[in-house]
Structure 1
């Protein structure tokens, strides 16, 4: 795929309620794409009220399957890591802490999928709150979640909510001069999130899963990534949020299929965007300890 050393540290398999991908197929595809390694991060979202039980991960079977893949495929040129994506809600903090004390994950993503019982993935969220209030509530919930449970390694897809605005409001596209809109009205809330991450030593994830939805930027969008760097943030992780094999490392080095044709001049691959912003490395986690991968 590329001469760069590439790890995709956010992906889902049939152990997640929203994926049917066999774990071994994800491994084989990652190896074919020339990745140096991957981290499985299947969903665990307790108290997911809209579809109860959808993301209640079978941790015993999941752990056994990851260990089997490691035993079969780990070698000097490729490594599989054991991770999880926790769906954060403030009332789950103690339960999550007990979970992490029990399971020896390499990497833990903390993500906000639920706000006041609703997931922005479903249209009902915006029907209830509207666009502006819905966005503001989402960012405030992220900050509340971090403060309630800061025991994770990287904040997943900070502006995940932008993926599910449909149709995309005009103010959430590019301006004629090429600069993005999107989060401009919510930078006070986003700054508070970024500063909280920095102060607690938690990484920010650059997540390219938004390209699956035809969006113009990754999560977070480039203006937020640049703001993180301006504020002193240097801990960054990289993941495609793939739920199928073809989306592994999506947009890491090349323009993804489905990117809006009339906006291609604005595209920057994930690695290019990191370099343009000023980053000279990204992080992977092994045994909850970060390791720098130099760009």
Structure 2
């Protein structure tokens, strides 16, 4: 009998973008690693909806701030699954001679394995996790989803800047922007920061620009040309001299954040100039 695992999807933006079966980019990569090891993985709910994934630039901790619960069926060996996941961390986040501990700590808190045959729950270190802890994880994730519902539906006090700005892709609104899109991508035409701490961190160069979060509904693998979510290839891995990367062909814009590692660093100077204009106005 083939070993199998089920993983439940979680959409933090459900209120604004409902009925989407969503995973993080890291979860997609772990699933590929498990499948390449011969383990069957099913993403729940097991229906006809396609699997989509969240993309965002910045801290990799964000991929592990929501519960990632793997349930083992048919006596799938937990030791094998643990080894695969920990090998994945070593190859993905091995920097300066060690695994990025901040990412590993986040995963230790939120990535758990449930052995369905006798109900034991463990984390990526192999430590026992209580059912109460699982309940806390789920409750915290639901609270953050509710916070995104409120922030993404917020009404701006600046009619010419209707789009809320966040910090580090978390729910709190720290400013407002006017955003446009063309064939070259997304542009922040005008913006203002209303949160004093965020503004202070921008002037101190702790925050260096903008980053976009979205839900990718179609992406193509550079190795095989097929749907990246469904194929076996993994980004950053070279297959017969061809490095794998995925090109997002279709996506839904979710939110824009001020971050430390931006994709839109050229917008920061414009933000500060605009901020000064509002102060003088």
Flag whether TM exceeds 0.5 (same fold).
Answer: no
- TM-score under structure 2 length normalisation: 0.28
Bigger-Rg structure (1/2): 2
Give the TM-score taking structure 1 as reference length: 0.27
Q: Which has the higher helix share?
A: 1
